[in-house]
Structures are given as structure tokens and as C-alpha cells.
Amino acid sequence: MQALDELPKAPAHPVRIGVLAIQGDYDAHAQALREAGAEPVLIRKPEELSTIDGLIIPGGESTTFLKFLERDGFLASLQDFVRHKPTFGTCAGCILLATEVTHPPQQSLGVLNATVERNAYGRQIDSAIQTSDTKLPGGPLEMVYIRAPRIAKTGDGVTILAERDGFPVLVEQGHIMAATFHPELSTDRRVHQRFVDLVRDWPSRQTRSAHS
């Protein structure tokens, strides 16, 4: 008879990660999540937040995001979610997560200990694709910038994973990740894989923290 510890383990269920499907290329994020081993869920209603393990807030126009989120209590539900569950903001999503927004100032969710400057690299015509070093395993990373914001300053608890011109472009703080570029527009899935791994490990990290 086969010992219990020798029996094959059942495969882990994929984590369910939502993509806020209000604007931006949420379908590209969903595809990237699939390729990184997660189950993507497009989120359009506040009650859908309770069905997911983590969330991506994609690019777009941050002021338009806010106007939409002010309906039906969505902003309050999202605020509660990002305080407790893994969340990854890209471009406009990075702006929404910051504790301070400039150029001009605007409301935000205030969970990422950073100051973010909107449209810091110019207009659509100033968009660029660059390949830069990163602390992620696997060497340099392709980064697609479209009307990119700039993380002007970071505070306590923020780990910088990549930079552009001396400014952070990919950061992590506990259960929060943020990027000023669009990883969904590249074929390199390391950024999404990093977030999927964070979402998958978050429950055990919370348990270890509670017992430390």
C-alpha cells in the first residue's frame, strides 16, 4: 500500500484574479494572467470583488476611472478591497493606488506609499518602448510606456524592482504592486507572473505574519 506522503498531490486550483474592466486593455491583461497560470475575471460591478483573490487596475484615464467608480458605491468597495487583498496597478492604475497624486492633484485610493506625477513623460506622441534592467529574474525587461506617469518619490515599505532615468517604474509594497508601463503589451510575462505568485502566496504570508 502506498504511503500517504507518497501519493500524488492534487493540482492547486488557479487563483482567480480580477481585471477592472472599465477602460484600458483589460483583455490583454486577462490573456497575460492566463499565460501566468491564473484564472482571469473581468470586474465591472462592486459585488464581483468578493469573488476574486487579487485585482489588476489597468491603464486608461485615471479621472475617468474615478467618475465611473463613484457610482453605486464602487469606489468604497474598491477602497476596502485594495487595503486587504493583492492589487496591481499599471499606468493609470498606479496613479489610483498612490498616497499622493500631482500634476494636477486628484483623489486616489491611497495604499501605495508613493507620490505619482501624472503624464510626466508627455503626450501620446511621446510614448516609447524601452528595455531596462530589473530585479526580476531573467534579465532585462521590455517596457511599453504610453502617456506614462512618473513615481516621483517612494516611502517606507516600498521595494523598487525597476527604474527609468533614475525614477522607479515597477514597485512592490506588501500586497500592492504598481508599474508606470504596460506589461500586458509585451510578450514577457514575468511581471504578471510576479503578481500571480504574490496572490497565490498572500494567504500564507498573512498567516505567518499573524503568528510572528
Active site residues: 91, 182, 184
Tell me the residue type at 204: S
**Strand, coil or helix: what is 126?**
helix
Burial of 209 (0-12, 13-18, 19+ CB in 10 A): exposed
Buried b / exposed e along 163-187 (16+ C-beta atoms within 10 A): bbeebbbbbbbbbbbbbbbbbbbbe
Q: Which of 50, 33, 72 is nearest to 198 (CA)?
A: 33
- Pair type for strands 16-20 and 167-173: unpaired
Cα 201 from Cα 2, distance rounded (Å): 30
Is the separation of the CB atoms in 125 and 92 below 8 Å? no
Could you tell me the CA-to-CA distances from 34 to 52, 106, 196 in Å, in that order? Answer: 15, 33, 10
